[in-house]
Amino acid sequence: MDGDRMEIDGGVMEGGGQILRVSTALSCLLGLPLRVRRIRAGRSQPGLRPQHLSGLEMIRDLCDGKLEGGDIGSTEITFTPGKIKGGTHIADTKTAGSVCLLMQVAMPCVLFAASPSELHLKGGTNAEMAPQIDYTVMVFKPIVEKFNFTFNCDIRRRGYYPQGGGEVIVQMSPVKELSPINLTERGTVTKIYGRAFVAGSLPIKLAKDMSAAAVRCIRKEIRDLYVNIQPVREPDNQAVGNGSGIIIVAETSTGCLLAGSSLGKRGKNSDKVGIEAAEILIRNLKHGGAVDDSLQDQLIIFMALAKGVSKVKSGPITLHTQTAIHFAEQLTKAKFTVTKSEEEDPSKDAYIIECQGMGMINSNL
């Protein structure tokens, strides 16, 4: 601590934008002034990229805070939060930077605002190195709403690498407090469904090929279940530029949702895209966890803020999750423990993430 400014080393562990997202969101919620050094020190292009900067600026604006060092390429920022306010907030990466990552940083904050919020998020909706918007809507949304809040997510336009241009509108009302979650019973897989998409000038055949290859791959592992992956072409007025990809979701008897997804790119065979997504899904089903590897780290901040004990059964803990836990513990009074799950089946590699949440209360309500 420097005076009463919390010092964050942005180069440890995962060493990327996630440290910035978790620490600035918690800074905003807790009213803790922050200094983050060595931002994205672990990346090939260190420092703030456009999507990180637009996320920071949105957090600054939604709490009337002060941001210093907010420039592209900057490796150190100081942030002094004010009071969180509802209303309309706009963040535009002006690139294919992920709208889903913008949503990750803003959502915990606006839950504790004084009034309802509307977030206009612009950038890439289906981008590399980030959840696809379809994942956010099909998997993240229904699971995170178990913390006892709801949000609406309207995909106005889809945007892809390199030009972005997508837009998503998220509406949510504040809550008094978050309830803890218990996601420890995986259950049996009851349904597998998904969508394979193309946009722009790409032919629908690519979507059909991705879907067929994914179905064949899943059939080898799971024989007795109908797999329904719809090939779709995004309407021209709802997508900017060319893009393709696939998301496949498995739903279980206990209401768990686990997924695998992949994006197409120039020179990448469409069968390979479908198989990649199917293999990720199968890997997520094999470890026996109740959440998939992409959801783990996204739940940590909500577990830390909730009132009471949350328990989540997951596969092997990802570096992103370890990083989120590290900074959630450093900034809040939440306590996390991770233990190997005692499995009847030795082929399973599952863990229990347990958190005694800090019990954040919305004093505005």
pLDDT along the chain (365 residues), means of 10: 82 95 97 97 93 96 97 97 96 96 97 98 96 98 98 98 97 98 98 98 98 98 96 98 98 98 97 98 97 98 98 98 98 97 85 98 94
Domain CATH code at residue 258: 3.30.360.20
Residue 126 CA neighbour count, 13 Å, CB half: 26
Same domain, 98 and 244: no
Which positions ≥6 away from 182 have C-beta within 8 Å? Answer: 310, 311, 312
Same domain, 14 and 106: yes
Same domain, 168 and 223: no
352 within a domain of the structure (yes/no): yes
Q: How far apart are CA 23 and CA 56, in angstroms?
A: 11
Which of 235, 264, 287 is the last residue in one of the domains?
Answer: 287
Domain CATH code at residue 140: 3.65.10.20
Report the first-to-last Cα separation within the chain, whole angstroms. Answer: 31
Q: How far apart are CA 55 and CA 95, in angstroms?
A: 13
Same domain, 197 and 169: no
Residue 57 CA neighbour count, 13 Å, CB half: 15
Is 213 exposed, middle or buried (CB count within 10 Å of its CB: 0-12, 13-18, 19+)? buried
363 within a domain of the structure (yes/no): no
Q: Are strands 182-183 and 309-314 parallel, antiparallel or unpaired?
A: parallel
pLDDT value at residue 3: 60
50 within a domain of the structure (yes/no): yes
pLDDT value at residue 345: 81
pLDDT value at residue 342: 86
Contact 89, 103 (CB under 8 A): no
Is 2 exposed, middle or buried (CB count within 10 Å of its CB: 0-12, 13-18, 19+)? exposed
Judge whether 51 is annotated as a binding position: no
Same domain, 199 and 53: no
Residue 271's SS3 state is helix
Which of 287, 307, 323 is the last residue in one of the domains?
Answer: 287
Contact 262, 199 (CB under 8 A): no
Contact 359, 349 (CB under 8 A): no
Same domain, 10 and 103: yes
167 within a domain of the structure (yes/no): yes
299 within a domain of the structure (yes/no): yes
CB atoms within 10 A of CB 276: 21
Model pTM? Answer: 0.97
Q: How far apart are CA 200 and CA 152, in angstroms?
A: 26
Q: Is the dihedral of CA 364, 89, 68, 98 positive or negative?
A: positive
Same domain, 131 and 212: no
Same domain, 235 and 304: no
Please indicate whether residue 52 is annotated as part of the active site. no
Same domain, 171 and 268: no
Q: Which amino acid is at 146?
A: K
Helical spans, DSSP H, in the chain = 17-30, 50-62, 99-110, 133-135, 141-144, 204-221, 270-286, 296-305, 319-331
Q: Are strands 351-356 and 335-340 parallel, antiparallel or unpaired?
A: antiparallel
Same domain, 141 and 261: no
Residue 244's SS3 state is strand
Looking up tokens 């562990």, which residue turns up?
13
364 within a domain of the structure (yes/no): no
Q: How many domains does the chain have?
A: 2
96 within a domain of the structure (yes/no): yes
Which positions ≥6 away from 203 have C-beta within 8 Å? Answer: none
- Could you say which of 52, 287, 320, 326 is catalytic? 320
Q: What tokens appear for 124 in the block? A: 């890439």
Same domain, 265 and 325: no
Range of the domain at 225: 189-287
228 within a domain of the structure (yes/no): yes
Q: How far apart are CA 6 and CA 16, in angstroms?
A: 18
Contact 233, 211 (CB under 8 A): no
Which of 251, 269, 287 is the last residue in one of the domains?
Answer: 287
Q: Which amino acid is at 53?
A: L
pLDDT value at residue 222: 96
Looking up tokens 């505005």, which residue turns up?
364
Residue 279's SS3 state is helix
Same domain, 326 and 207: no
pLDDT value at residue 266: 94
Give how far the C-alpha of residue 200 lies from the chain's centroid of Cα atoms, to the nearest Å: 26
